[in-house]
């Protein structure tokens, strides 16, 4: 395969959007830069004792903030603001959105929502973590200050979304609504190369990913689907599916995207909206999965149709191979 760098790819595909001003390309390029810095830091996690562990604070969701959560948050926000192409950013790590109100940024037409380091509790044990991002055009006029309505947009309005997985290699996977492409980082020369062009998820898979420790709290339809996954009789080849759950969303999602499978984070009695956040975890991954031919639903319809009410809103999510999501949805609808 010809060695195409992500930089070349961004510029080439920019021409697919007539009248493009190059701002979206600069956003992707800022994300690319920050991801290299964060990847480098994460790779040192076992060596530099002062960069792992918690900072002793909780974020707005009541979760312990890790030092690398804050490091990644700073790097992504700084890289994005420095390009002058977004007017604001909302992050899992910040209670409210941040407005960039200098002359250049305030007139920009995009906002970004980001989970800078998802699954960060896995860093101490050398397990893959990720960054998830979503890009919207602002709703407000460019002459007005950015406001919350610019961030509370439904998934269908996304102009781009993607993730970075810091795994056995670092990869950037993104879509601007024209298919999904994956780029693998070559640390020797500091460049991402196109390694996974036009990614498609198999329509059916053999992997199911869910925290089964919570099963007693799931609704009956979900329990029924999990026993369907485990059953032999209902499958063509008489074999149960394999259970695969890392507990690091980007890693679980990425594996299932490539191999085929379903990732589930249902509601529980104690967390009626599930755990994962709509705007910077579920909606961007839903955008990617649909672009790759898969599906993403909550317990009441498509993730991309949900109109958000709050920045840090949560939703149950079922995401992956289309036939698997369909079977689950049928059982949810018949069993409740």
Residues that bind Mg ion (CB under 5 A): 115, 118
Residue number, 65 or 105, with CB nearest to ligand AHM: 65
Residue number, 92 or 150, with CB nearest to ligand AHM: 92
CB of 214 to Mg ion, least distance (A): 17
Residue number, 79 or 114, with CB nearest to Mg ion: 114
CB of 127 to ligand AHM, least distance (A): 10
CB of 222 to ligand AHM, least distance (A): 14
Over the chain, what HEC string results? Answer: CCCCEHHHHHHHHHCCCCCCCCHHHHHHHHHHHHHHHHHHHHHCCCCCHHHCCEEEEECCCCCEEEHHHHHHHHHHHHHHHHCCCEEEEEECCCCCCEECCCHHHHCCCEEEEEEEEECHHHHHHCCCEEEEEEEEECCCCCCCCCCHHHCCCCHHHCCEEEEEEECCCEEEEEECCCCCEEEEEECCCCEEEEEECCCCCCCCCCEEECCHHHHHHCCHHHHHHHHHHHCCCCCCCCCCCEECCCCCHHHHHHHHHHHCCEEEECCCCCCCCCCCEHHHHHHHHHHHHHHCCCEEEECCEEHHHCCCCCCCCECCEEEECHHHHHHHHHHHHHHC
Closest CA to 261 of 195, 313, 322: 322
Q: How far is CA 294 from the centre of its chain?
A: 15
CB of 276 to Mg ion, least distance (A): 7
Which does residue 93 bind out of Mg ion, ligand AHM, none, counting CB within 5 to 8 angstroms by kind? none
Residue number, 74 or 217, with CB nearest to ligand AHM: 217
CB of 234 to ligand AHM, least distance (A): 26
Which does residue 272 bind out of ligand AHM, Mg ion, none, counting CB within 5 to 8 angstroms by kind? none
CB of 249 to Mg ion, least distance (A): 7
Contacts with ligand AHM, residue ranges (CB under 6 A):
63, 92, 115, 118-120, 211, 247-249, 252, 275
CB of 320 to ligand AHM, least distance (A): 13
Q: Looking at beta carbons, which residue is closest to Mg ion? A: 118
Residue number, 252 or 299, with CB nearest to ligand AHM: 252
Residue number, 120 or 315, with CB nearest to ligand AHM: 120
The residues near 245 (Cβ < 8 Å, ≥ 6 apart) are 209, 210, 211, 212, 252
Residue number, 119 or 261, with CB nearest to ligand AHM: 119
Residue number, 87 or 257, with CB nearest to ligand AHM: 257
Which does residue 63 bind out of Mg ion, ligand AHM, none, counting CB within 5 to 8 angstroms by kind? ligand AHM
Sign, Cα dihedral of 197, 202, 207, 208: positive
CB of 60 to ligand AHM, least distance (A): 11
Which does residue 211 bind out of Mg ion, ligand AHM, none, counting CB within 5 to 8 angstroms by kind? ligand AHM
Which does residue 145 bind out of Mg ion, ligand AHM, none, counting CB within 5 to 8 angstroms by kind? none
Which does residue 248 bind out of Mg ion, ligand AHM, none, counting CB within 5 to 8 angstroms by kind? ligand AHM
């Amino acid at each position: 395969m010809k060695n195409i760098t992500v930089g070349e790819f961004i510029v080439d595909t920019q021409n697919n959007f007539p009248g493009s001003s190059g701002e979206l390309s600069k956003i992707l390029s800022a994300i690319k830069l920050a991801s290299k810095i964060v990847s480098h830091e994460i790779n040192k996690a076992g060596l530099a004792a002062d960069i792992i562990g918690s900072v002793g604070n909780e974020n707005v969701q009541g979760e312990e903030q890790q030092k690398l959560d804050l490091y990644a948050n700073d790097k992504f926000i700084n890289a994005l603001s420095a390009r002058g192409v977004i007017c604001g950013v909302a992050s899992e790590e910040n209670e409210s959105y941040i407005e960039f109100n200098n002359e250049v940024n305030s007139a920009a037409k995009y906002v970004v929502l980001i989970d800078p380091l998802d699954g960060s509790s896995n860093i101490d044990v050398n397990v893959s973590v990720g960054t998830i991002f979503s890009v919207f055009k602002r709703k407000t006029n460019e002459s007005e200050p950015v406001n919350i309505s610019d961030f509370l947009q439904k998934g269908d309005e996304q102009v781009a979304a993607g993730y970075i997985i810091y795994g056995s290699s670092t990869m950037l996977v993104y879509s601007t609504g024209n298919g999904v492409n994956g780029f693998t980082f070559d640390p020797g020369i500091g460049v991402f190369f196109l390694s996974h062009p036009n990614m498609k998820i198999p329509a059916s898979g053999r992997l199911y990913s869910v925290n089964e420790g919570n099963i007693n709290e799931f609704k009956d339809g979900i329990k029924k689907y999990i026993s369907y996954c485990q059953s032999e009789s209902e499958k063509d080849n008489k074999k149960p599916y394999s259970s695969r759950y890392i507990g690091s969303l980007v890693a679980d999602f990425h594996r299932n995207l490539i191999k085929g499978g379903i990732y589930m984070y249902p509601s529980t009695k104690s967390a009626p909206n599930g755990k994962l956040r709509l705007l910077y975890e579920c909606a961007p991954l839903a955008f990617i999965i649909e672009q790759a031919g898969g599906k993403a639903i909550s317990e009441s319809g498509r993730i991309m149709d949900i109109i958000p009410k709050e920045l840090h809103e949560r939703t149950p999510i079922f995401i992956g191979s289309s036939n698997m999501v369909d079977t689950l949805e049928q059982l949810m609808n018949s069993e409740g």
